Structure 1
Amino acid sequence: MGTSETSTVQDGDLVTRLEEEGEIAADYLEEFLDIADLDGDIDIDVEHGRAAVEIVAEDVADDSLRRLVGADGEVLDALQELTRLAVQTKTGERSRLMLDIAGYRAERRTALVEVARVAIERVKAEGGPVTLDPMNPFERKVVHDAVAEAGLVSDSEGVEPERRVVIRPA
């Protein structure tokens, strides 16, 4: 078996494992929704080398799932951690699963890319570092990715919950 065949098999094994994580997470979240008496469909995918699960409203006009997002996504973050623990309990391996509810993370990602774009332009124009407001790990990752794509460098500084991204020229 050649190197490319080996990596294809390994990639296939990874995708299968991530799909399994998604299925375990979906089962856990379906039970959660039943207990909470909330309606929602669960979409499972594999994105950027991790399982991605989203709870979407069965009825587009139904806004009840937004309660599971909470202020600034705090409830969503907690539910994501609980879901990761449920997956870890079943598989014995740490999960990096990403959970979204009613498109919150997708909307937040779009807004964060715009925040990063404005900060990147400031760094380019002024030549010095720009420090952003505190962000959670998901938000910092989105900004770091946008900064890297723009050819600049960024670091996270501080301690949670005050950890923030600093963007610098390359």
Structure 2
Amino acid sequence: KGEVLDALQELTRLAVHQKTGERSRLMLDISQWRQRRRDELAALGDKIARRVLESGEREELSPMTPFERKIVHDAVAGVQGVRSESEGVEPSRRVVILVD
């Protein structure tokens, strides 16, 4: 699920902050894991959005990180007639897709 990658990324950001005094938006991607995950989530958002549009029924996705939810929200925004919202509290915050 990328927990080790997230931990390495956070440690790297902390090291950069300690060295420079500035916050970093650095994002690590090892073996293109993040890119593959981004592609999977975009496809999932599009697929579920189209299913919601057809069925008229709202759908909730599994809990995701803020990074993952943003990708899904962006994918849903590309489908007319549906919208997405985030519900819940971290770490159980999830995307909900509804008919607009």
Q: Tell me if both proteins adopt one fold, taking TM over 0.5 as the criterion.
A: yes
Q: Identity percentage over the alignment? A: 61
Residue in 1 that maps onto 2:53? 124
Q: Does 1:91 align with 2:91?
A: no
Size of the alignment, in residue pairs?
Answer: 99
Residue in 2 that maps onto 1:59? none
Task: State the structure with more CA Rg.
Answer: 1
Q: CA deviation at 1:94?
A: 2.2
> Could you tell me which amino acid in structure 2 is paired with residue 81 of structure 1?
E
Find the residue that maps to 2:2 and give its secondary structure: helix
TM-score, length-normalised on structure 1?
A: 0.53
Q: CA deviation at 1:169?
A: 2.5
Find the residue that maps to 2:22 and give its secondary structure: coil
> Could you tell me which amino acid in structure 1 is paired with residue 19 of structure 2?
K
Higher normalized strand content (fraction of residues) = 1
The aligned runs of 1:1-150 (5 Å cut-off) are 72-150=1-79
User: Does the CA contact (< 8 Å) of 2:43 and 2:75 recur in 1?
Assistant: no
Is there any run of 5+ residues in structure 1 with no aligned partner, and where? 1-71
Instruction: Could you list the structure 1 runs, at least 4 aligned residues long, displaced by more than 6 angstroms after superposition.
Output: none
Residue in 2 that maps onto 1:154? 84
Is there any run of 5+ residues in structure 2 with no aligned partner, and where? none
